[in-house]
């Protein structure tokens, strides 16, 4: 088969996929935008990140700050962190959070919600219906 033809076919097939399916298959966490000021760090696109993760801000910051090993707080649209951080380190922490608390471990989609039952948290997937106990890594 002609390779160019093949690519064209793929493009055509892709165009036929409904918009909402395309979006969820292209789930991407925005990279942190950092501003360092007087030896402290601000994630300036925090609101955008939390919006895409679709999780509670307090839930996220509680875990995130603990893993970063520092203190901090939400300041308007930004997340303030005590100390200087590299974007790379913070991106990794967000990725880890996403794997544990956002992405379904069965179908890998982000269409999930956290459900609390007793002392255990479960990740319920609205895409495939799976429900898994959340285990911190
Ligand atoms: Zn799922």
Residue 64 CA to ligand 1 center (angstroms) comes to 24
Alpha helices by DSSP H, listed for the chain, are 3-16, 19-25, 46-53, 57-68, 87-101
Backbone angles phi, psi at 88, to 5 degrees: -55, -45
Dig out the tokens for 54 from the structure.
């679709």
Q: What's the average model confidence in pLDDT over 15-37? A: 76
- How many Å lie between the centroid of ligand 1 and the Cα of residue 13? 24
pLDDT in tens, 76-95: 999 999 999 999 999 999 99
How do residues 93-109 score in pLDDT, each as one tens digit?
999 999 999 999 999 99
Q: Please choose, from the candidates 47, 40, 85, the residue with its C-alpha nearest in 3D space to the C-alpha of residue 67.
A: 85
What is the Å distance from ligand 1's center to 8 Cα? 31
Residue 91 Cα to ligand 1 midpoint, Å, equals 24
What is the rounded CA–CA span in Å between residue 58 and residue 30? Answer: 19
113 Cα: distance to centroid of ligand 1 (angstroms): 11
Summarize the confidence of residues 41-55 as an average pLDDT: 97
Beta strands 120-125; 112-117: pairing state: antiparallel
Domains of the chain: 28-102 (3.30.30.170), 104-137 (no CATH)
* Total residues belonging to the chain: 137
Check residue 44 and report its DSSP letter.
Answer: T
């Amino acid at each position: 088969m002609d390779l160019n033809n093949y690519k064209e076919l793929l493009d055509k097939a892709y165009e036929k996929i409904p918009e909402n399916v395309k979006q969820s298959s292209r789930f991407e966490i925005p990279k942190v935008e950092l501003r360092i000021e007087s030896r402290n760090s601000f994630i300036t696109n925090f609101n955008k990140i939390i919006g895409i993760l679709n999780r509670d801000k307090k839930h996220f910051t509680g875990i995130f700050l603990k893993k970063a090993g520092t203190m901090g707080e939400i300041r308007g649209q930004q997340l303030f962190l005590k100390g200087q951080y590299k974007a790379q380190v913070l991106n990794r922490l967000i990725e880890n959070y996403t794997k544990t608390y956002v992405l379904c471990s069965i179908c890998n989609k982000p269409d999930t919600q956290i459900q609390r039952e007793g002392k255990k948290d479960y990740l319920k997937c609205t895409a495939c219906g799976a429900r898994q106990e959340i285990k911190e890594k």
